[in-house]
Amino acid sequence: MSSKQLVCLNEYEKEALAILDRNSSSYYQSGANDEQTLHDNINDFKRFRLRPRMLTDVSEVRLETTILGERISMPICIAPTASQRMAHPLGEIANARAAEAMNTCFVLSTIATTSARELSEHVPNSLRWYQLYITRDRAITQKMVKRAEVYGFKALVLTVDTPTFGTRYSDTRIKFKVPQHLRMANFDGIPSMESGMANNSGGSGLNFFSDTFFDPSVTWKDVAWLKSITALPVVAKGILTGEDAERAIEAGVDAIIVSNHGARQLDGVFSTIIALPEVVAQVRGRVEVYLDGGVRKGTDVLKALSLGARAVFIGRPALYGLAVGGEQGVTDILSILKKELKLAMQLSGETDVQKLRKGLVIHESMMTRL
């Protein structure tokens, strides 16, 4: 852990990038192509402005909420990100422990360096969801679903925006590889995946994974099939339009994450904060809507909640916390966001994350019409 006093998420990012090797830092930072959407995810939050209400009693502020019926201490959770042991030897375990300490939700990536079984053994009482792809070989999907059920995960987070990997110039430029001492642990016990990645000449296993694991033929009918084989709630992650939100609801999903995969898939799409209002308007409260992508401040969280998100999920900031201080670093990241959210609510005249008033946030383009 650095001896410096780090006071905000941007400082944790700078510190982490000074600690991580080039292979890891480039992979964690990278976005698709020219990274337009990567920057928009952060910058577009600044284009929404808060309209505070003065002289209200803000001596008590309620941050607690629920997601899919599970109570959490704040509407800030940890998104699935790959290969967390590149940031810290405990990787996903440290991240999940921090989420548990803060009484919030952690989502385990399919491409994790810690398996679902290992996570359940080390953090048995945590609220954890399992991120999932529908694979070419549906038997692999079924095996992963069964493991999630057996090991106590409370929901499946189905990523719907990845028929194949997007192009990330940075990864190509440095010839990114997962370090040899790490493994994609969720593929343990799946012979076709174990042998294929072990024999991959590039060493990382990612090319084999992309070519053999992702299924470009998946449709909403397959989402309905997934619902038919599990009692776990299914959360569709990667929705950016009202049309797809409607299709997701018709397929039976229980919640939606407005997400562009951390801007790592298709460059030039809307940032998630811009896409959020359209999705919320289409959903009309029929399922819960969450957001990930670009959240770096408590005011970002407040803006997303005001525009209809029930909670936000953070990805890169948790990785940077891991790199700087392991479990404590992630706990610090979550604590900073929680404190910033509470302060933003007090200064805006708000007292309950579940009862934010309409009109608290507007886009800057609407300011001249008031």
| Active site residue ranges | 261
Contacts of residue 38, Cβ cutoff 8 Å, sequence gap at least 6: 31, 32, 262, 263, 264, 267
| Cα separation values, 281 from 278, 285, 321, Å | 5, 8, 34
Contacts of residue 147, Cβ cutoff 8 Å, sequence gap at least 6: 116, 117, 130, 186
Cα 26 from Cα 360, distance rounded (Å): 37
Cα-Cα-Cα-Cα dihedral sign, residues 74, 156, 109, 164: negative
Beta strands in the chain (DSSP E): 48-50, 65-67, 70-72, 76-78, 105-108, 127-132, 156-159, 234-239, 255-258, 288-292, 311-314, 361-363
Question: Which residue has 């694979």 as its token pair?
Answer: 135
Tell me the one-letter amino acid at 74. Answer: M
Cα 226 from Cα 141, distance rounded (Å): 9
The H-assigned helical ranges of 181-315 are 191-198, 206-213, 220-228, 242-251, 272-283, 298-306
Cα 360 from Cα 49, distance rounded (Å): 8
Q: Report how far apart the first and last C-alpha atoms of the chain are (Å, whole number).
A: 48
Which residues on neighbouring strands pair with residue 313, listed in sequence order? 77, 292
